[in-house]
Structure 1
Amino acid sequence: MIDVRRSGDRYRGGETAAGIESFHAFSFGPHYDPDNLRFGAVLACNEERLAPGAGFDEHPHSHTEIVTWVVEGELTHRDSTGHASQVRPGDVQHLSSAGGVRHVERNDGPDPLVFVQMWLAPLSPGGDPSYEVVRGIADSTPYAVPGAGALLHVRRLAAGERLAVPDAPFVYVHVVHGELSLADDRLGPGDSARISDESALEGTASDAAELLIWEMNH
């Protein structure tokens, strides 16, 4: 089964006057949709756009694996465990909120910031929070989130290049840039596909594309 969700159908949020635009692929905050709460381990896939100087003040998280991919600009992160970093395009940021953590996310740079943030449900609650940034992850290098039983594949495809979709009970594909032909559908920026009970599925980049692909067993 392939369930394609279009960019234009995402729930719009944020605070325009504060320089924040948000686009939510799943039920989120005031946008409650009981039929769109999660897919596999994925609870949220938010595209955030922050103007220079804008950001999210300190706020709490718990029992969530949070993975962030910067599309353009630079993300400043600080958290209650003492971590502080700048996250740039090509970096994978992972905050395991575990039993509880507070953090700040801001655009302290001179240019607009766009990032995709994905929340995953943990296999078990509690524990100690942890944080890491993998700099400049290479194409096809999987990033494991063992706390959620999931693998993230970052794929950068040239026009005409074929993609072998992972064989897994649940696969979530998010298009960051470009276009991807998948079965009978063509996906563009911000579009996603929720794939279950499929095997030997392939796609083709109809234009140079950057994709975030979650491979999940739960």
Structure 2
Amino acid sequence: MDVRRADERYSGGDPAAGIESRHAFSFGPHYDPGNLRFGALIACNEERLGPGAGFDEHPHSHTEIVTWVVEGELTHRDNTGRETVVRAGDVQHLSAAGGVRHVERNAAGTSLTFLQMWLAPHEPGGKPSYEIVRGIADSTPYALPEAGALLHVRRLAPGERTAVPDGAYVYVHVVRGAVRLDGERLDAGDAARVTGARGSEAVGVTDTELLLWEMAA
């Protein structure tokens, strides 16, 4: 188990434009050849956008992009004509496939924090697709077969336990609160990379929200 603390992320974004980014993996100018990916996961970015701030239209390709809002509302628009508002509890999945362009913005009058996770697909190319699941239920996995991955959302009360999926690669991210993962305390923004997980469990220290990526070899 490799624990990475919130304050160890690479800082980025454009604070003057109301954009603050924290990257868990090698990203942009923060090139780290020893931290390029974990399983299929190639990025886990925490983005904080002030009111009106956002990312102008930009391209993606050959990437499965999953977005999870922590607080606030994210407005998404892409060149296929889709425009949606993503809120806390929603899972947004954009399959960039052969190429897509999109805009992400905080159109509300309050601050926005969201996580964006990029996964590498098994095969490049194809036709872009988009899906949003509103208010995903606790313990309901979201399948990402394109990358051989499952996303598990768990919300724990203090003392409540949850099994960590057995798997070749499991990435655990604490969205809010605190847990103990095999005896190691993880607080909001902390993450653990577990290889060859067998019989691990997480225990809520406080009211907690966890994202767990279960990934095949």
TM-score scaled to structure 2, two decimals? 0.99
In structure 2, the residue matched to 1:14 is: 13
Runs of 4+ in 1 over 6 A off after TM superposition: none
Match for 1:56: what amino acid? F
The number of aligned residues is: 217
Cα deviation, residue 202, structure 1? 1.2
Match for 1:154: what amino acid? V
Cα deviation, residue 158, structure 1? 0.6
1:36 aligned onto 2:41: no
- Distance in 1 (CA, whole Å) between partners of 2:113 and 2:191 is 17
Mapping 1:1-218, distance limit 5 Å: 2-218=1-217
TM-score scaled to structure 1, two decimals? 0.99
- Distance in 1 (CA, whole Å) between partners of 2:201 and 2:105 is 37
Match for 1:148: what amino acid? A
Cα deviation, residue 198, structure 1? 2.5
Contact 2:64 2:121 in 1 (8 A): yes
Match for 1:195: what amino acid? V
The superposition leaves residues 113-137 of structure 1 with CA deviations (integer Å, 9 ceiling, x where unpaired) of 0000000000100000000110000
How large is the RMSD of aligned CA atoms in angstroms?
Answer: 0.6
Give secondary structure in 2 for the equivalent of 1:17. helix
Cα deviation, residue 154, structure 1? 0.7
- Distance in 2 (CA, whole Å) between partners of 1:132 and 1:109 is 22
Cα deviation, residue 197, structure 1? 1.6
Match for 2:86: what amino acid? V
- Distance in 2 (CA, whole Å) between partners of 1:130 and 1:202 is 34
- Distance in 2 (CA, whole Å) between partners of 1:157 and 1:41 is 26
Cα deviation, residue 44, structure 1? 0.3
- Distance in 2 (CA, whole Å) between partners of 1:163 and 1:3 is 19
